Amino acid sequence: MTSQRIGYSRVSTTDQNIDGQADALERAGVDQIHIEKYTGTKASRPVWDEVRRILRKGDTLVITRLDRLGRSSRDLIEIAKWLDDNGIALQATEQPIDTSTPEGRMFYTILSAFAQFEREMIVARTVDGLAAARARGRTGGRKSSLSAAQVERIRKAHASGTTVSVLAEDYKVSRPTIYRALAETR
């Protein structure tokens, strides 16, 4: 059985473009490319779990950057241990990581710490930004699809026996929106 070069790429949201990663993996000469649109903060991800099932001893997992594989040091170290325990090498096309060498393993460990630091800084900036917005009276989230007057009419219609389904159809909103409007007015 010949060893394979399995490419894995990931973006966190569906509106991010995966083409750059896919192109880099093709240039790296991988045999298969597996693309995932899922947060890197979760240890279990559908496509990553499938890649783990495919990888065999002697194979090489090819990624573009370490942060595409995971965002926490703990997760990245566990992945490195799993790869090592199973005789699978890791290469990153944009970073000098090749876990088949001692230097590559060391660099992997250093970069995993930076990946976690970056993730923690993103979270801290987000929390700070939300707090600053709240202090200025702004709240996040989508604008209500119903005005206060519509909510009052919905409440009265529901109290007189109009069903949630009929109200949703009349106001061209979903049933959960009607339920939320009814809950707000009680």
Contact 18, 75 (CB under 8 A): no
Calculate the CA 80 to chain-centre distance.
20
Q: Which residues are catalytic?
A: 12
**CA 64, CA 97: separation in Å to the nearest integer?**
10
**CA 71, CA 66: separation in Å to the nearest integer?**
8
**CA 74, CA 60: separation in Å to the nearest integer?**
21
